[in-house]
Structure 1
Amino acid sequence: MKLILLNKPFNVMCQFSAHPSRETLADYLDIPNIYPAGRLDADSEGLILLTDDGKLQNRISHPDHKQAKTYLVQVEGTPTPAILKKLSEPLDLGDFTTQACIAKHIQMPDWLWDRDPPIRQRANIPTSWLCIILSEGKNRQVRRMTAAVGLPTLRLIRTGIGGFSLESHPLMPGEWQEVEAQK
């Protein structure tokens, strides 16, 4: 059984099949019969787990197993305690209501890499960093959550899934590492 940690770069499609205009996971990994356990949008970066074991893939990605997913989010604006409270509580996004989560205002971590291309900068509008930890992961959920509270996402990086993190397994974008699967 293989379990691979990959730091997916920005603008890479989370698939192995060819894409007409973007890189895919196949441009970074040449390991037969592995599949991502969960996905990240092309405009999101960070930790992807890949495996060749269907049961492990299900245990990692299925919502019933409630694997914590940690995201670093650079947003436009500055969060207030009221905004952080709103993010942490169930939030109605129209088509669904999020589960309660952890949302904290943080400093940009020292170990974080620069994005290529860099995010847009506006001289008059500050940016801030949040750490959001979810036990669910609906399509574009973090981006929708921050937008709903008036803090549009500029950069989104998943740094942890369950017991695996880019902090304890430092990988630069495009780098991968095989690890022991947790039982």
Structure 2
Amino acid sequence: VGFTNISHMLTPKGRVYAELTVSHQSPGEFLLITGSGSELHDLRWIEEVAIKGGYDVEIKNITDELGVLGVAGPLARKVLQKLTSEDLSDDVFKFLQTKSLKVSNIPVTAIRISYTGELGWELYHRREDSEALYDVIMNAGQEEGIDNFGTYALNVLRLEKAFRAWGSEV
């Protein structure tokens, strides 16, 4: 419990069908995260395998309930630490760990991971909290020069770190 893994779903022939992030939330409960462009592709596969295998699992698509904000870069910890009483130090909140915590009193599931290859967290939260969470993070990061970055920048950053992407390199 509390750890995250980057995983691949394989076809019967051993080919990569999809890539996803799996976080062990509590005993018997997992949060599966996949790329926004492959949500239905991956969900269909998971449901099909569960049915064919006769697995006793409950699968719930919570895509429409959650938002996610990524905070990444060498000063990400400094910015987020201003907004939570949770210890975000390297010794306590390690890479690929997941924790439920509050960021400026907004409940989030924080995963220490970043597709940029830099220090970072993905903050999963109730969709209706997205604007408030974004605002408090951006305000807290003014001194550190926080700014937005887009998908094209993210793609360049991940390539610099040799992170492969499903559908491109994988």
Q: TM-score normalised to the size of structure 1?
A: 0.29
User: Higher helix share goes to which structure?
Assistant: 2
Q: Which has the higher contact order (CA 8 A, sep 6+)?
A: 1
